[in-house]
Chains A and B, each alone.
Chain A
Amino acid sequence: MDAPGLKQYEALSVEAAAVRRYETMWQRLHRSWSVRLGGTALVLLVIIALAAPWLGTVDPSLFDAGSRDLLPGKVGEITTLEGDSLQHKFLMGSDSFGRDIYSRVIYGTRVSLIVGILTALVALAFGIALGLTAGYLRWLDGILMRVMDGVMAIPAILIAIALVALWGASLSTVIVAIAVPEIPRVTRLVRSLVLTIREEPYVEAAIALGTPTLKIMFGHILPNTIAPLIVQGTFICANGILIEAILSFLGVGLPPDIPTWGNIMAEGRVQFIEFPHNVFFPGIFLAVTVLAVNILGDGLRDTLDPKMAKRV
């Protein structure tokens, strides 16, 4: 055997030694402390959201004129829907209507998680469809990507604010309005992945075998984009929760009767100087939730998508 051939084998063996040990995706995820930390916090929040009625809460819309502006930990009365007076401990105090902040914050977890998850799903669905189209139908690529550039040139929060103002605020309009400015980023990601993957030999083989275009797009290309998309989806979820809170806080988001963290803070800001707890408790929940999702996203990026991790 000649020398260059030997060198080739040496290179191979070095590479094999570097792999050391085969780990499944699940094992690698489990080893990452950010995935564990963010994941655990998120699971706890999901449990809180699901178990809200059994966590010592009352109906978040109940109020009592006698229990207005109570400090955290005070006991007061609250009127049930049937008109009975109920002794209730206001763990996080009450607002200026006499509603229980604790119950509102706990129920607010539901709204935030739903908005975050659905925003990510909507943005991913549209982004995948547009990205596959742009990456696969080359004649559409130019115009589609220019439109995406245009959307990206408008600051995200302004698009969301304007769309909610036009469509009127409800859960579905808020979700779509927050998702719209995220779509171009997903589209770009999917498009660039498609452009790389479509050059792979197995795609060429599929084309040569006469596989229908749609089947190549969804059967051969899409499955290989899943890891980066999960990572992207996590960050969109965190951002969606943040923007929903900002919209509610500014008074242009979900109607004030829905207990969202942003709404609680918007009502509390008027008397922030005397009663800062109305702003701080929902604020802490909001910050911790977004932090948990972001930490999870960082961990997922490092384990699922190491190429992206190197970029930033």
Chain B
Amino acid sequence: MYTFLARRLLATIPVLLIVAVLVFLMLRLTPGDPAAILAGDAANTEQIERIRESLGLNRPILVQFGIWFGNLLSGDLGESFYYKQKVTALIGQRLEPTISLAALTTLFAVLVSVPLGVLAAWRFGGWFDRALMGFSVMGFSVPVFVLAYLLIWFVSLQLGWLPVQGYHRLADGFWLYLKHLLLPAFTLSIIYVALIARVTRASVLEALGEDYIRTARAKGLPELRVLVRHALANAAVPIVTVIGIGVALLIGGVVVTESVYAIPGLGRLTVDAVLARDFPTIQGVILFFSFAYVLINLLVDLSYVFLDPRIRY
């Protein structure tokens, strides 16, 4: 068990390392002078030189990587060109809205999609199953910002139930905080619900075909217990896996959703940084999101031990 833990932890290191190298190379392998690209069209030679100097772009590429990676290991992502602040500090300030949005979305998506998927598998081929599959294709196809505007128009403008845009910190009061997050989280959860419901249905369907389900029914267990305790419990591993993989979708969605609902989180920071051509910030945010994604999937892998007692590492 502990050797597995150690091995699994060690295995994530190469992935993180490759991510770091890729993010580093993104700028360096761009055709043309990276310093000039960063400085923008309006910059003069002096400004370009200053950027070249500050990023060490005039040194050999391996030395550049060494310096950059050394800083990264000591938790230094460099300084933003645009905000004139440490990138780590910027990320820290924007963390609360993004984590709140992502957590609420995940909570909502899991609570809704798992029962839907189980129900569809239970009534496989029936009208509910077909409706859910239809909804799932729709969920993958309707762009999150189109859905966002549709919901703003209907829920906020026509019905006036929820605020149109904006964000309030948890410190401003829980209800105010929640009220501003409900619509964005609902918007963002649709694609996630589609994904998780689909996989839940497929894996519960597979479990329902097993002999132990027939046995459980034959010995007169209530159907709900058969579904939850026997079918769902045995289908848990693929469901948790897809929740982990779906975090990539969630991160992509955060960038768009925060933009539409004017939430000052990491997604918004990404877009602002790109518009300002603030490359240290872009690099920092990409690294942060990718590391978070890898670590969440590491936790997912570790959770298998608890979900499936047969798995002994």
Residues of A within 8 A of B (CB): 146-147, 149-151, 153-159, 161-167, 238, 242, 245-246, 249-252, 265, 269, 272-273, 276, 279-280, 283-284, 286-287, 290-291, 294-295, 298, 311-312
Contact = CB atoms under 8 A, between A and B. Distances in A.
Contact of B145 (A156, A157, A249, A290): A249
Interface stretch (B13-21, B75-83, B97-105, B174-182): B13-21
Interface in B106-131: none
A283 B152 CA distance: 14
B237 interface: no
Shortest Cβ-Cβ A-B pairs, 10 listed: A150-B18, A283-B146, A157-B252, A291-B141, A290-B141, A155-B251, A165-B274, A154-B290, A287-B142, A166-B30
Given A153-B15, A252-B274, A312-B202, A166 B27 contact: yes
B289 interface: yes
Nearest to A310: B202
A193 to B, nearest CB: 21
A272 B149 contact: yes
A250 B256 contact: yes
A238 B140 CA distance: 9
Interface residues of B, number: 51
Majority SS at the chain A contact face? helix
Contacts of B138: 291
A250 B146 contact: no
B235 interface: no
Interface string B122-165: 00000000000000011011111110011011000100000010
Contact of B30 (A154, A167, A279): A167
Interface in B232-287: 248, 251-252, 255-256, 259-260, 270-271, 274-275, 277, 279, 282, 285-286
B251 A238 contact: no
Contacts of B290: 153-155, 158
Nearest to A246: B256
Contacts of B286: 154, 158-159, 162
Contacts of B16: 153
Contact of B18 (A146, A158, A286, A298): A146
Given A158-B285, A283-B149, A150 B19 contact: yes
B228 interface: no
Nearest to A290: B141
A283 B112 CA distance: 26
Nearest to B145: A249
Nearest to A311: B202
Contacts of A154: 19, 22-23, 286, 289-290, 293
